[in-house]
């Protein structure tokens, strides 16, 4: 397993300075976002020179771009909003090779029209699933055209709110271009924490063959949890990391939900937990 970082965690005046800081913390991979260079996650277009600059900076710092964020509300109640998101996804996918990555992360979204990360009473409706599934099929067509991998994250506030629904979405879509982001802190509905190991085991049993990257953060409660730096909450990290270690490839674990001041101790915590597994 490799320790990585979410791009929003460490911010400097230039990409080069940001990557200098990332390397200084002993981190060698990143889930990138175009916000680091002043663009939205899904811009209408990306200049070729900017793509070259980003790739060259990553290469010069020996940092790998494990994935790039392509989030939009895939279950938004307005079909036009979803269409705009797909248009931006196409612009991003068409430039992934130049940027130096082959994985785009997605959010399955919510029926909340203003916040794609916020739960909504209609998320469990047939209409919500129908809208998400149709949007995902179109997204996968883009992925197949540009030979990239899409990875969505099952999380309790979204339409794909559980490992079981993630499995359903993978099966209904039926494309090897669609994978998942595994985040152990995002899959516990209210009242489920006492069954933590059972639920983690089930998640990996259902999804292990389709994990593209993993997230490393923590939670302070089940349901719509507040997110914490890894090791500062309730997640059983020994068990979570052992399950990640049993995957078929060396998964990047992207630290998420922390401030920059928490990075040194969080890197040390995760690295310490990894040592017995890797020995």
Percent of the chain past pLDDT 90, that is, above it, reads 94
Which pLDDT value is given to residue 192?
A: 94
Q: What is the pTM of this model?
A: 0.96
pLDDT digits (tens, 9 = 90+) for 34-50: 999 999 999 999 999 99
* 3-state DSSP assignment of residue 218: strand
Q: How many CB atoms lie within 10 A of CB 179?
A: 24
CA 167 to each of CA 61, 74, 153, 173, 206: distance values in angstroms, whole numbers, following the listed order: 37, 17, 11, 10, 6
- The residues spanned by each domain of the chain are 2-278
Whether 1 has a pLDDT exceeding 90, the answer reads: no
| Range with lowest mean pLDDT among 28-42, 196-210, 264-278 | 264-278
Q: What radius of gyration, in Å, describes the C-alpha atoms of the chain?
A: 18
Q: Cα separation of 271 and 62, whole Å?
A: 19
Given a cut of 90, whether residue 277 has pLDDT beyond it is: no
> Phi and psi (nearest 5°) for 101?
-145, 160
Q: What is the pLDDT of residue 71?
A: 97
The answer as to CATH 3.20.20.150 being correct for domain 2-278 is yes
Residue 226, pLDDT > 90, answer: no
Strands (E), the chain: 2-6, 29-32, 64-73, 103-107, 149-152, 178-183, 211-219, 227-229, 252-255
SS3 191: coil
Residue 279, pLDDT above cutoff 90: no
């Amino acid at each position: 397993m490799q320790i990585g970082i979410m791009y929003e965690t460490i911010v400097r005046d230039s990409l080069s300075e940001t990557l200098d800081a990332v390397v200084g913390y002993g981190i060698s991979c990143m889930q990138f976002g175009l916000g680091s260079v002043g663009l939205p996650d899904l811009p209408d277009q990306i200049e070729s020179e900017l793509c070259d600059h980003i790739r060259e900076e990553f290469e010069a710092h020996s940092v790998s771009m494990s994935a790039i964020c392509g989030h939009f509300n895939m279950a938004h109640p307005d079909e036009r909003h979803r269409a705009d998101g797909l248009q931006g996804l196409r612009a991003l996918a068409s430039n992934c090779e130049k940027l130096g990555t082959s994985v785009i992360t997605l959010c399955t979204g919510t029926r909340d029209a203003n916040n794609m990360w916020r739960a909504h009473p209609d998320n469990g409706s047939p209409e919500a699933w129908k809208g998400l599934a149709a949007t995902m099929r179109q997204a996968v067509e883009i992925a197949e055209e540009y030979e990239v991998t899409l990875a969505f994250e099952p999380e309790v506030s979204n339409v794909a709110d559980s490992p079981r629904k993630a499995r359903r979405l993978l099966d209904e879509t039926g494309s090897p271009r669609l994978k998942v982001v595994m985040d152990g802190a995002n899959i516990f509905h209210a009242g489920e924490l006492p069954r933590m190991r059972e639920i983690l085991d089930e998640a990996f049993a259902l999804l292990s063959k389709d994990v593209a990257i993993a997230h490393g953060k923590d939670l302070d409660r089940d349901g719509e949890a507040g997110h914490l730096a890894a090791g500062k909450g309730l997640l059983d990290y020994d068990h979570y990391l052992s399950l990640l270690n049993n995957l078929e490839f060396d998964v990047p674990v992207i630290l998420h939900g922390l401030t920059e001041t928490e990075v040194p101790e969080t890197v040390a915590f995760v690295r310490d937990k990894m040592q017995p597994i890797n020995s």
